[in-house]
Structure 1
C-alpha cells in the first residue's frame, strides 16, 4: 500500500520505504523520483475520479463551485459534487475536478465557467439530467441574473435548485452592518495586532504588563481581512488584555513616538470605543453561531428556515417592541420602522455594556445614548441585510423542515403537511418516486417507535434515515424505502459552498512556496487520494494495485 504515502512527495523515499517494509529488503530499496512519483499519483487519481464518475452516472447530484488563487498566482476553479449514494445510504461529498481558469481556458466569466462545467461532465460521461442542485457564493459571474452560470443552468437544466451560500451571505450581512460603527473600533484591533506581530522584543515587554495586571499572557490575535466574522476571537482577546494594553502603550508612547502608537493610545482611552468593542464581543457570537451551523459537513437544508428565522428574530428582539414581533409575520416586519423601536434606554446590548453603564460616571451621560443609538443602527443594518439576502418565506426551506427527525416522528406534523406533494413540486428534478406510495409511507412512519439514539439531535441525521431504511415488514421488505431515499436526496441539496472552501484549504497545504512547481493535475490527484484514504486503508483494490 505504498501509494497511500505518495502524497508526501518525500525526497528521502528510501527511508520511508524502510519504515513501511521492514520485512522486505527489495521493497525497502524501491525509489521513485519526482517525475515517476507524480505520474503514479496521477494514474491513481484518475482511477478514483472514474470511480466517482460511475457513481454520478447512477445517482442524482448537486454541484458546488468556487474559485481561488494559489501562491503562484494561478487561478483555479474547483468542482465539488454532493450526492446521496443509495448503495451506502450516505450523503457523500467529493471533488470532481480542479481546473486552471487561464491555462487553455477562457477565464472566469459566466459563459466560460458554464462551458467548463459542461465539458467536465461530458468528459466523465455524467448526464446533465442527473444534476438537481447548484451552490456557490454570490459572485455576479456565477449568481447574476444575466449572463451568469446560474442563468445558463436554469435554461439548460429546468427546475434545478439554486443556492447562494448561506454562510457567505451571513458574513456579508455583518460586514455591511460594520460600516455603521466607528472605523476606529476595527482599526484598534488590527493596529494592536500589527504592532506586536513581527517583534519578539515588544511581545516580551508586554508580558511584564500582563503579569502586573494579573492577566494570562495570551497573544494578540490576527483578525482575518476577508472574513469579518473572524473578528470575534481578536475582539475577545483585546477585551481580555484591555488593561495591560492601556498601561503598555501609555508607557511606550513617549519612547516610540509613532503615529500608530498615538492612535492606539487614543482608542484605548476612549470610553465609547471600549463600549463598542464590548458590543461586538456580545453580538458577534450570535452571528458566528448561525454561520458555523451552515459550515458543518452534514445536511443543513432541514434546519435552514428555523435557524435563519431564529437569528433574525433574536436580532430584532434587541431593539424592537416585543408585542409587534408577536403579532406580525416575521417577513412583514420592517427593521427600519421607528414606530416599532424600543425606547433607547431599554435597548439591551449585553451584560458587559449594561454593567459598564451602571457606573456612576455614566449616569445621565450623553455617551450612553450615543452608543446605544449607534449599536441600534448596526442591528437595523444587519436585519435589513438578512431580509434582503434571505427569503424568510422560502417555501423549500419551510417544507424541508418536515424532514427533520423530530417532525418525521411527530404525528401532528401531518395536520399541516398531510403529504409530501408540495415538497416534491419544489424539487422537480427529484421526480422518480410514486407520490401515492411516498404519501402513504410519510403518514405511516409517524406511528413507528424509534430508539433515542437515532432521534437524538447530537447524532447525524443520516443515522436516523439509515435506521428508517432498516425497518422491514413481515415479508422482510423495506417499509419506508421510498420515503427514506427521497428525504436523503432532498437533504443532499447544498446550502453553502463551504465544502469547496475546505477543499481549497487542503489545496493550499499541498501547494505552498516550497512546492510552488506542483502541477494542478498532481494536486488534484493528491486531494483525491486524501479523500479516499480511509476507504483505501480498509480495502486494497486489486485493479488499483495493477495500475501502479
Structure 2
C-alpha cells in the first residue's frame, strides 16, 4: 500500500474510532483498511468522516438504529416470565407418569390430560396439569427411574447382596443382560429380590458379560467385594467349570457361592427321564391341544358334546406344550385324564364322520389302556416335581426349608426304588453319593400309586409287566439325574437349612466348621471364632421372631447388652448374609417377560435407557406398594423435576416409538 494511502487510512480510522457518535455502529472491514462496516445496516462504507456522517443521516440507518435500540431494551422471556409449578402439581404429574410407565404407552397421556381437565373445569389442580408425551417420557427416564435406582442402591448400602443374571436377545436382535439383586433390607425388614439393571451387550462371551457386570457395579457404587452369591442357569457360558462367568468371578472372590437354577435342573431331569416312556404319550398331549387351537368349529362342537354328557359343564382347555418348560405338561396331562372318555368319543366321531387321519391316530392311542396307565403314572410323578419347582420359583418362601423339600423328593424316589434294608444303613448325608442302581427292588414290589393300582387290573399280564418296567426305568432315571445335576445345590441348601431358627435355637445343633472353613471375607460374615461362639449361645435366650430366618436374624442383629453393644453381631451378620443366597433363576426369567411386554413390535425402538427406567418403575411400584395407586413421589424426585430433565444430549426422547404409535392409531 502506498505511503499516502496508508496515512489516509490511519487518519480516518482514528476519526471513527474516537468519535462517540460513530464508534457504536461502525466496525473495521477485514478485507480493506480504507473501508468500514455499518453494524446496523450491514453495508460497506469509506472510512471518511463526511461519508460516515452522511450515512448516519439516511432514513435506512435511522430505522435500523431504532430497531436495534428497541431490541436491546426488551427483556428476555425468562426474565419476564418464570413458570413455577406448585408441589401439588408436580406430585400429580409424577403420579400420572408412574401410571403411564406401569400400564400403557406415552401417547396415552396426551388424551388423558385433556380428559382430566374436562372432568371439573373449576378445579385448579386439574387445570394446571401440563403433561404430554415428551414431558412424560422425560419424567420417567430422567426423574422416576434414576431416583428409584438411587434409592435401591442406598437401601443395599454396605450390606451383602447376591445377583441373579441371564442374557437374551430381544425382538430387535439386541443382546441384553438382565441383573436381579437379592439382599436383606434393613428398611423393610425382609429379603428383597428385585430388578436392578438391564445392560446392552455387544458380545455374549464370558469375559464380556463379566466386564459388563463389574463395570456397572462400579458406576452405581455397589461394592463388588460385598457380593456373596450369584444365580445362573445351566448354560456353559454362565456356569462352566473353567472359563465361564462364574469361574472368572470365583477367581476374584474364592468364597463366592454359585447357585445353578434348581427349576431349570428339575425341568431337565424330568425331560431326560420321560425319554424312556412311549413316544405316543408326547404325540397325544401335543396333538390334543393342536386339535382345538386352530379350529373354533371343532372347539364349539366339543363344547356341545361335553355339555351333553356332563349336564351343561364347560370343558377345560388343554394346555399347549413348551419347549423350555417341560413341567408345564403336567396341566395338559391332568386335563386329558379328566376328560378321557369325552375326548375318546370326540376322536371316534371325527374318525368315522370326517375320515380324519389325525383323529384316527389319537383315537387309536386313547383306546389302548396301557397308554392311559402311563399317563396316570406320569401325572402322579410330575405333580411332586411340579410342586417343588413352583416353590423354587417363588420369592416368598422360607429359603432354609427348601433343602428339606428338595431332599425329600430325592429321598422318596430312593425309598420306592431301593431295598429298605440298604437305606437303613445310610444317613442322609450319604444319600447324595449313594449308588442306588446296585440295590434296586424287583419291579413287582414297587408301588406306583393308588390310581395306577386300580387301572393295572384292566391290563393283561404282559402289558402290566411292560408298563411297570418302563415306570421303574423312569424313576431310576429321574433319581439319577437329580443326583447328577443337583449335588452343588444340595450341599449349598444344606448349609442354609442349618441356619433355620428352630435349629439355631435348639440345644443340640450342627457344627458350623464346614461353613466357616469355606468363607474367607470376615468383613461380611464376621469373625469366625465369634460366629461359632455366638452360635452356641443363641439357645440361651428366648426369641420372639422364629417364624422366618429373616425375622429371626434381624431380631438377633438388633439385640444389645446393657452398654448398647450387639451381643450377637457376628452370627447375625453371618445368618443375614446366607439367607440372601439366590435359590433359582425364576426372578430373572420373570423380568425378561416384563421386558418383552414393554418392548413389543410397536415399541421396538425403545432405547436401553428408557427400558431401564420403565422396568425400574414397574418393579419398584410392585415391591413398595403394589401399583401406581399407592405411589408417592419422594423429595429426590421433586428436586429433579426441573428444566434440566430435558437434557436431550443426555437422554433422547422416544421419537421413533411415538411415531410408530401414531401410525398405528391412524
1:509 partnered with 2:601:
no
The residue aligned with 2:453 is 354
Among 188, 194, 199, the residue aligned to 1:94:
194
C-alpha distance in 2 between matches for 1:515 and 1:488: 41
Answer whether contact 2:398 2:549 (CA < 8 A) is retained. Answer: no
**Alpha-carbon displacement from aligned partner over 1:259-281 (angstroms, at most 9, x marks no partner):** 32222112111212111111111
1:258 shift after superposition? 3.5
Answer whether contact 1:63 1:79 (CA < 8 A) is retained. Answer: yes
1:488 partnered with 2:576:
yes
Answer whether contact 2:239 2:246 (CA < 8 A) is retained. Answer: yes
Normalising by structure 1, we get a TM-score of 0.89
The residue aligned with 2:333 is 235
Q: Tell me how large the CA RMSD over aligned residues is.
A: 2.6
Q: Indicate the SS of the match to 1:135.
A: strand
1:32 shift after superposition? 4.1
The residue aligned with 2:546 is 455
C-alpha distance in 2 between matches for 1:6 and 1:216: 38
Answer whether contact 1:209 1:247 (CA < 8 A) is retained. Answer: no
Among 165, 170, 181, the residue aligned to 1:65:
165
1:344 partnered with 2:435:
no
**Alpha-carbon displacement from aligned partner over 1:100-155 (angstroms, at most 9, x marks no partner):** 33xxx22x111221121122122223332222211100101111123211121122
Answer whether contact 1:14 1:28 (CA < 8 A) is retained. Answer: no
Q: 1:505 to 1:450 in 2, by over 3 A?
A: same
C-alpha distance in 2 between matches for 1:439 and 1:341: 42
Answer whether contact 1:189 1:234 (CA < 8 A) is retained. Answer: yes
Aligned pairs, number: 530
C-alpha distance in 2 between matches for 1:187 and 1:125: 53
Q: Indicate the SS of the match to 2:424.
A: helix
C-alpha distance in 1 between matches for 2:409 and 2:373: 23
Q: 1:285 to 1:431 in 2, by over 3 A?
A: farther
Answer whether contact 1:302 1:403 (CA < 8 A) is retained. Answer: yes
Q: 1:13 to 1:506 in 2, by over 3 A?
A: same
Which runs of no fewer than 5 residues in structure 2 stay unpaired? 1-90, 642-666
Among 424, 428, 438, the residue aligned to 2:516:
424
C-alpha distance in 1 between matches for 2:298 and 2:341: 16
C-alpha distance in 2 between matches for 1:427 and 1:14: 56
The residue aligned with 1:161 is 257
Answer whether contact 1:400 1:423 (CA < 8 A) is retained. Answer: no
Among 386, 391, 396, the residue aligned to 1:288:
386
Q: For the pair shown, which has the larger CA radius of gyration, 1 or 2? A: 2
The residue aligned with 2:139 is 40
The residue aligned with 1:125 is 221
Q: 1:202 to 1:115 in 2, by over 3 A?
A: same
Among 353, 358, 375, the residue aligned to 1:277:
375
Answer whether contact 2:194 2:619 (CA < 8 A) is retained. Answer: yes
Q: Using CA pairs under 8 Å that are at least 6 residues apart, name the structure with larger relative contact order, 1 or 2.
A: 1
Answer whether contact 2:100 2:108 (CA < 8 A) is retained. Answer: no
1:204 partnered with 2:295:
no
Among 420, 424, 445, the residue aligned to 2:538:
445
The correspondence of residues 187-336 of structure 1 with structure 2, limited to 5 A, is 187-214=283-310, 216-298=314-396, 301-328=399-426, 329-336=430-437
Larger displacement relative to structure 2 (131-140 or 460-469): 460-469
Answer whether contact 1:177 1:378 (CA < 8 A) is retained. Answer: yes
Normalising by structure 2, we get a TM-score of 0.74
